[in-house]
Amino acid sequence: MERVPILKLGDILIISIQIDLDDQSVLALQEDLADRVVSAGARGVIIDISAVEIIDSFIGRMFATIAGMCRMLDAETVVVGMRPAVAITLVELGLSLGGVRTALNLEKGVALLDHLGDRGTPR
Amino acid sequence: MTVHADVARRRITELLGSADEQILRRWSTIAQASADELRELYQALRNSLAHEGDDLTDVRGLLAELSRSRARQGYTPSDTARAVYSLKEAVYESVEDDGGADALRGFIWFSRLIDDLGLYTIETFATAREKVIMDQAEQLLELSTPVVKLWEGIVAVPLVGTLDSARTQVVMEKLLQILVDTGSEHAVIDITGVPAVDTQVAQHLLKTVVAARLMGAECVISGISPQIAHTIVTLGIEFGDIVTKATLADALAYTLRCSGIEFSERRHTRIAVRTEDA
């Protein structure tokens, strides 16, 4: 089973998904991430999916789960770099990411988290 | 083929050969076409009848050519078919002169052949027309979706014409790709040029907006005319929390404000000018 690396940049955790996720690695990622958010005291998590070509309902739900989990630990989640084809497929399937924030690329994701941090009252 | 039919057929072929100048002249008079135009066709018809096996490839080729050239000159397909059918009348005069039973029986067979050829001209016309329509539809799809950059980080898609699934798909893909390529966080979809909005079109628009949101960009829909607003409300379409504006200018102002750009009008200073009579 491949593990997805979790990078730390200041108080933001960055996950770049470069592999085809199977159910096992998704569950492992969720556990690893919860641990890291607590140990690093992160206030934001960015999931970069610019290399992901296929998103099914399971992975779609993973984003919502991670976001809910991180919110419990007082961290905001941003999904960045979704490809147009992936977005169209998700809409056609009627899937939404359940209130997860999105940004066009990593840079804008970091900017979004900074903006939220400045306001001090994340929604 | 029975012996009778064979004899009758041969008789007609002979008649077409022996009275060719007369028939051709009559044909061109009745069809109101130049004899030169018809001569080639007549020769090809005679050649293919002279050979056994009903090989009408040459005749069909010439007919297609005739149909095309006449269509270009502004004739209707019925005119062209009528011109072909008038050959029957010309041939019948020769058959009448001949008066034999074989010739009359052969004329029935010949008449059926000409019917087929007449229908073929209509078929050619329809095929040519269809091809033109398909080419145009394709061109329409290509040229109908410009994505315009309005400001740094703001793009606009002016939609013109009726929206259907195929076009909306193209628009959606192009818009989303441009959002990624330019890193724009705001998009304005302007539907000033869309004549009518029904549930399907609204559905397509909503899908585009949601897809853009998934990627991290916000869409504003602008150019909603009073009639369209009325239709949308009457149909009970919910746009939810999607921002809609009446004009592109309003949408631009809104998106600029959202991206934190402030603009103000320059205060006009009053200048009093007095002209004196010379």
Which of B180, B212, B214 is closest, CB to CB, to A97? B214
CATH of the domain at B37: 1.10.490
Cross-chain residue pair B176–A80, CB shorter than 8 Å: no
Q: How confident is the model at residue A110 (pLDDT cuts 50, 70, 90)?
A: very high
Split into its structural domains, chain B has a count of 2
Backbone angles phi, psi at B146, to 5 degrees: -80, 145
DSSP class of residue B219? E
Both B101 and B169 in a single domain?
Answer: no
Residue B276 counted as domain residue:
no
Both B44 and B70 in a single domain?
Answer: yes
Which residues of chain A neighbour B180 with C-beta distances below 8 Å?
A: 83-84, 104-105
Residue B45 domain boundaries? 3-139
Residue B232 has what pLDDT? Answer: 86
Backbone angles phi, psi at B229, to 5 degrees: -60, -40
Q: How confident is the model at residue A121 (pLDDT cuts 50, 70, 90)?
A: very low
Residue B264 counted as domain residue:
no
Which residues of chain B neighbour A97 with C-beta distances below 8 Å?
A: 214
Residue B270 counted as domain residue:
no
At residue A122, does pLDDT exceed 50? Answer: no
Residue B271 counted as domain residue:
no
Which of A80, A92, A96 is closest, CB to CB, to B216? A80
Q: What is the pLDDT along chain B (278 residues), one digit of tens a residue?
A: 566 777 877 787 887 788 778 888 888 888 777 777 788 888 888 888 777 666 778 888 888 888 888 888 888 888 888 888 888 888 888 888 877 788 888 888 888 888 988 888 888 888 888 998 999 888 877 766 788 888 888 999 998 887 777 778 888 888 999 999 998 999 999 998 888 888 888 888 888 899 999 899 999 999 988 888 888 888 888 888 889 998 999 999 999 998 888 878 777 777 767 777 65
Both B127 and B194 in a single domain?
Answer: no
Residue B135 counted as domain residue:
yes
Q: Are B85 and B114 in contact (CB under 8 A)?
A: yes
**A6-119: CATH homologous superfamily?**
STAS domain (3.30.750.24)
Residue B263 CB contacts under 8 Å (≥ 6 apart), including other chains: B256
Q: How confident is the model at residue A15 (pLDDT cuts 50, 70, 90)?
A: very high
Both B106 and B40 in a single domain?
Answer: yes
Both B128 and B202 in a single domain?
Answer: no
User: What's the 3-state SS for B54-108?
Assistant: CCCHHHHHHHHHHHHHHHHCCCCHHHHHHHHHHHHHHHHHHHHHHCCHHHHHHHH
Indicate the residue among B86, B115, B139 that finishes a domain: B139
The verdict on B162 touching A (C-beta cutoff 8 Å) is: no
Residue A8 CB contacts under 8 Å (≥ 6 apart), including other chains: A14, A36, A40, A42
Asked if ipTM goes beyond 0.95, one says: no
Which of A79, A84, A91 is closest, CB to CB, to B177? A84
CATH of the domain at B210: 3.30.750.24
* CB atoms inside a 10 Å sphere around CB A52: 19
Instruction: Tell me which of A52, A53, A104, A119 to substitute to probe the interface with B (most B C-beta atoms closer than 10 Å).
Output: A104
Domain ranges of chain A: 6-119
Residue B266 counted as domain residue:
no
Residue B273 counted as domain residue:
no
The size of chain B, in residues, is: 278
Residue B278 has what pLDDT? Answer: 57
Which of B183, B210, B215 is closest, CB to CB, to A84? B215
Both B225 and B252 in a single domain?
Answer: yes
Instruction: Tell me which of A47, A79, A91, A110 to substitute to probe the interface with B (most B C-beta atoms closer than 10 Å).
Output: A91
Lowest-confidence pick of A19-23, A50-54, B31-35, B244-248: B31-35
